[in-house]
Amino acid sequence: MTVGNAKAIDLFAERKGKILPIQVKSIYKKKNVGWPIMEDQVRPDCFYIFVVLNGDKMEPPDYYIGHSEEIQPLIKQYATRGILDRSSVNNPEYKDRWDKLSQNS
């Protein structure tokens, strides 16, 4: 596992004796287009929590939760960068879906 802005895991959770790796990505305000993430850095069998901190509005954060298999196809990959557009996860399939972390794998 590497550290920094690479393939590190932010959190480990345990569910029924199985370890769940969790990666957390955040942006400061809603007007940001999305989260920088390279398609080839998406870890298999990892959950991703994308956070909009809403720092510009001083509102509670927004959370979007998905598994790597759901997230990877949504990433727009360019030559030197990748991005997950906020609009691609701003729907009931991802918003506040904490239940995904407790579902059977």
- Could you tell me which residues come within 8 angstroms of residue 104 by beta carbon, excluding any fewer than 6 positions away? none
As a dihedral over the C-alpha atoms of residue 33, residue 8, residue 65, residue 93, rounded to 10 degrees, the angle is 80
Q: What is the pLDDT of residue 17?
A: 84
Q: What is the pLDDT of residues 6-53, one digit of tens each?
A: 456 788 888 888 888 999 999 998 778 899 999 998 998 899 999 999
Contact (CB, 8 A) for 95 and 66: no
Cβ-contact 52, 30 below 8 angstroms = yes
